[in-house]
Each structure stands twice: as C-alpha cells, then as structure tokens.
Amino acid sequence: MDIQLLAAWIRGRYAQLRAARDAGATSTELAVIAGALLVGAGLLVAALRTKLGEKIGIINGG
C-alpha cells in the first residue's frame, strides 16, 4: 500500500471522526489508528537501527 495514500486516508478519517463526535466506534477506531502509527514507527526505528548497525560494522572493519 502506498504510504502517501495511507497517510491521506488517516488524516481524512481522523478529521471525519473529530467532526462526528461519535462515542462508540470513534474510540475504537482511534485506538486502531494509533496502534497502526506505533507499529509503523517501530518498524521505522528497527530499519534505521539495522542500517546504522551495518554502517558501524563497516566503519569498525567488521
């Protein structure tokens, strides 16, 4: 899935949820969106750590 498309969908859905003030599905859906963002951030950190580890290994002669 395209990241820009996903980001646009999340922004649009978040704006729609804020405007609707729905109590039931809103909190669940916001929790799912927050979870997806946390997973994405975790994957980004893991990728950066892996790449940085490769670079440090090359610098240290490993």
Short-list 48, 27, 30, CA closest to 38: 30
The stretches in the chain having pLDDT less than 70 are 1, 21-26, 58-62
- Model confidence pTM above 0.85: no
CB crowding 9-20: b at 16 or more within 10 Å, else e: eeeeeeeebeee
Q: Where are the alpha helices (DSSP H) in 1-62?
A: 3-20, 24-59
pLDDT value, residue 37: 87
